Amino acid sequence: MEITIPTEKLILGPVELSDLQNMYEIRTNSQVAKYINRDINKSLEDIRQFIETVRKNDFYFTIKTKECNKFIGTITLWNIDWSKKYAEIGYELLPRFQGKGLMSEAVKGILDYAFNEAGFQHIEAYTHHENIASRKLLEGIGFKLITDKVDSDNLDNLIYGINNTAHKTTSDH
């Protein structure tokens, strides 16, 4: 996957092995992992292998600022089922970049790409019910709570979904 998605202030680009240090920082940060089921006791080698795996299987992007190419987080479409044109979305920002509206911009950018170019029809987000920032983010973008489905792997999670028909491209907003 060598896709790059520019938004107003950000560049979503394919994760590279050169992002190893940044990826290590974000994936071992306990504040970032507060509402994510994730083992943060990882070595650099674990993270290197993770990068190789996601480069093969997922649409896994780093989020960098347009202004100075600074790594601020990641966003991914994963658990892909092409027969249903379905993917799950995951996202995270380093704590110092949270609360500035940046992830809303990144999610809108990846949805524009997912629905208008990659051919996905339905995207879901699994998020901890106490993760208010994540829930507000999703609701603000137009994701709807799916009430007839549960995450049997983690009953603390809520499931939100959006279809390509409900998504307005960024230029329509």
Ligand X SMILES: CC(C)(COP(=O)(O)OP(=O)(O)OC[C@H]1O[C@@H](n2cnc3c(N)ncnc32)[C@H](O)[C@@H]1OP(=O)(O)O)[C@@H](O)C(=O)NCCC(=O)NCCS
Q: Which residues bind ligand X (CB under 6 A)?
A: 32, 35-36, 91-93, 98-104, 127, 131-134, 136-137, 140
- Nearest to ligand X of 78, 82 (CB atom): 78
Report, in Å, the least distance between residue 131 CB and ligand X: 5
- DSSP-based three-state secondary structure for 124: strand
Contacts of 100 (CB under 8 A, 6+ apart): none
Report, in Å, the least distance between residue 99 CB and ligand X: 5
- Nearest to ligand X of 32, 51 (CB atom): 32
Report, in Å, the least distance between residue 79 CB and ligand X: 13
Strand partners, 122: 86, 163
- Nearest to ligand X of 84, 100 (CB atom): 100
Nearest partner of 107 among 23, 173, 35, 29, judged by Cα: 173
Burial label, 126 (beta-carbon count in 10 A; 0-12, 13-18, 19+): buried
- Nearest to ligand X of 45, 173 (CB atom): 173
CA dist., res. 149 & res. 166, Å (int): 19
Report, in Å, the least distance between residue 38 CB and ligand X: 10
CA dist., res. 74 & res. 12, Å (int): 8
